[in-house]
Amino acid sequence: MSKRSGSEGNGLQVGALSGFDSAVMAIAGCGPGYMIAAAVPVLIATVGVAGPAVLLYCVLPVIGIALAFRQLGRIDVSAGAGYTWVARGLHPFLGFMCGWALIVSTIAFWVFTTWPAGEATIVLLGGETPVDPAAAMAVGAGWFLLVAVVVTLGVRLSARAQTVITVLQLTLLLTFAVLALSKDGGAADFSFSWFGFGHFDSSHTLVAGALVAVFTYSGWDVTSNLSEETRRGRRSGFGGLIGLLVAFTLYLVFTIAANILIGADAVTADPADFLSVLGEAVLPGWGGRMLVLAVVLSSIATLETTLIQATRTLFAMGRDRTLPAVLGRTHPTWKTPWWATMAVSGVAFLLIGGFLVADSPEQFLTDAFNGVGLQVALNYGLVGLAAVVVHRKVLLRSPANLLLMGLWPLGGALFMAWVFVASLPGLSAGSLVMGLGTLALGLVPMFVSWSRGNAYYRPQPLDPDRAEAVDESSGASGAAGRRDEILSDF
């Protein structure tokens, strides 16, 4: 299963990325600029001033999921990541649905990312607001097409472009964050009660906020899908942890700044103008444009990383013949899964067309937003559970094993299961179709490939002792006492 060469004998470009590139990809995958513009106002509208509490309590189980990705990646380096690991750790059917959930969630994500990317670009160039949705989607689709070309031309080119974009994005966001925290409160004084449970009520529930947070804390796992192309790919999961923690810090600072400077009620009343209002409150005349530029950069970066995630997962599925084998082919020169890139790009453009003819584009985006939250919860929950099952025989060897391979990933998996189940009653029919309906479509190719006796459905179990043996070998060969060789990897 998952032979490391493509179906035509030419696989991905091995060793093209460093540990630093992996961390950059993880930060870009979280899309902090885009999420601050799109998800933070939704979070505040959902839970009011309790946004900091939701961000804090939800990042802890997500860190457990990141640890699960890291531990499983040490055992098996695979572009399929969760698709492969869940199949070998739990069951092939669950593994297929884990990979399918990632694919359909990223395709939906592209649709509601192209709109703000195009809208922010038009505003940055001096266009008037509100921006026509058709014009915004056309510009955003142009960005998506450019990103697809860059991703197709090679992972090294993608990494170099990503480094420039991410550094500029973080510089803008960190500068703005420092300025925001130095401002006197205009709407409220800071309160530690924002981190407690006292502000949750019937209209501001923790479960509703958690669904938003789960979606917000996604994308860092692109490092695992790039593990076959990363030097010391077994350690690529460390970059995901870095990306998650950077994103959490930025989300928390901007949510607190919004509560202090403009107030939760003002954000709820007009979430579309969140960036401009916050920008004017921090740096009149320039703050809004600074944030808009950060959103443009972040949207482009996130489109690239999610495209990489989807194409690498499709590549692994094509390589295993659980989807058409053509998806497992790589370009002989660029060493990228170009057929997979063309396939998902075509589907994305069809959905963009569906957005333009929708009766209510805003409702379309809201349904897609919630549906993606369900799919992310399913994907992460399965990987967290798989990590615990795979490492079950080594959990009691040390307290660190028990915590980092067992209790913390298990807590993350249970949290994802709770979010998935508890959020279902409150979702609209459109959100359920986006979330569960698109997942159900995956049953068709799964049972077709299973009925053909595909070897994917007879997987070899993952062996955690293999990772420890490699660690010991690395330590004996001069790792200067660092089991993870973090510094040398970077």
Count of CB atoms within 10 A of residue 355's CB? 18
Are 96 and 114 in contact, with CB atoms under 8 Å apart?
A: no
For position 370, what pLDDT does the model report? 84
- Tell whether 12 is covered by a domain: no
For position 487, what pLDDT does the model report? 44
Report the C-alpha gap between 192 and 29 in whole angstroms. Answer: 30
Tokens at residue 441, please? 């479509």
Closest CA to 98 of 397, 426, 375, 481: 375
Report the C-alpha gap between 169 and 291 in whole angstroms. Answer: 9
- Tell whether 76 is covered by a domain: yes
Count of CB atoms within 10 A of residue 47's CB? 27
Report the C-alpha gap between 119 and 13 in whole angstroms. Answer: 35
For position 476, what pLDDT does the model report? 46
For position 424, what pLDDT does the model report? 92
Name, in order, each residue with C-beta under 8 angstroms of 360's C-beta and a sequence gap of 6 or more: none
- Tell whether 4 is covered by a domain: no
- Tell whether 278 is covered by a domain: yes
- Tell whether 8 is covered by a domain: no
Radius of gyration for the alpha carbons in the chain, expressed in angstroms and rounded:
22
- Tell whether 5 is covered by a domain: no
Amino acid identity of residue 319, one-letter, is: R
- Tell whether 10 is covered by a domain: no
At which residue do the structure tokens 């994500």 appear? 109
Are 10 and 330 in contact, with CB atoms under 8 Å apart?
A: yes
For position 470, what pLDDT does the model report? 63
Name, in order, each residue with C-beta under 8 angstroms of 16's C-beta and a sequence gap of 6 or more: 154, 155, 156, 159, 229, 230, 335
Amino acid identity of residue 322, one-letter, is: T
Report the C-alpha gap between 378 and 139 in whole angstroms. Answer: 32
Q: How many domains does the chain have?
A: 1
Closest CA to 342 of 321, 314, 368: 314
Are 114 and 144 in contact, with CB atoms under 8 Å apart?
A: yes
For position 276, what pLDDT does the model report? 83
Give the DSSP letter string of 242-274: HHHHHHHHHHHHHHHHHHHHT-HHHHHH-GGGH
| Chain centre to alpha carbon of residue 463 | 27
Assign residue 260 the CATH number of its domain: 1.20.1740.10
The residue range of the domain holding 402 is: 19-489
pLDDT tens, the chain, 490 aa long: 444 544 444 589 998 999 899 999 999 999 999 999 888 998 998 999 999 999 999 999 999 999 999 999 999 999 999 999 999 999 999 999 999 999 999 988 888 788 888 988 998 888 777 788 888 888 999 999 999 999 999 999 999 999 999 999 999 999 999 998 888 777 888 999 999 999 998 888 899 899 899 989 999 999 999 999 998 888 888 899 999 999 999 999 999 999 999 998 888 888 878 888 898 889 888 888 889 999 999 999 999 999 999 999 999 999 999 999 999 999 999 999 999 999 999 998 888 877 777 666 667 777 887 889 899 999 999 999 999 999 999 999 999 999 999 999 999 999 999 999 999 998 889 899 989 999 999 999 999 999 999 999 999 999 998 766 666 555 544 444 444 444 444 4
Helix-, strand-, coil-residue percentages of the chain, each rounded to 5: 75, 0, 25
Name, in order, each residue with C-beta under 8 angstroms of 275's C-beta and a sequence gap of 6 or more: 37, 288, 291, 292, 295
- Tell whether 392 is covered by a domain: yes
At which residue do the structure tokens 């690239």 appear? 304
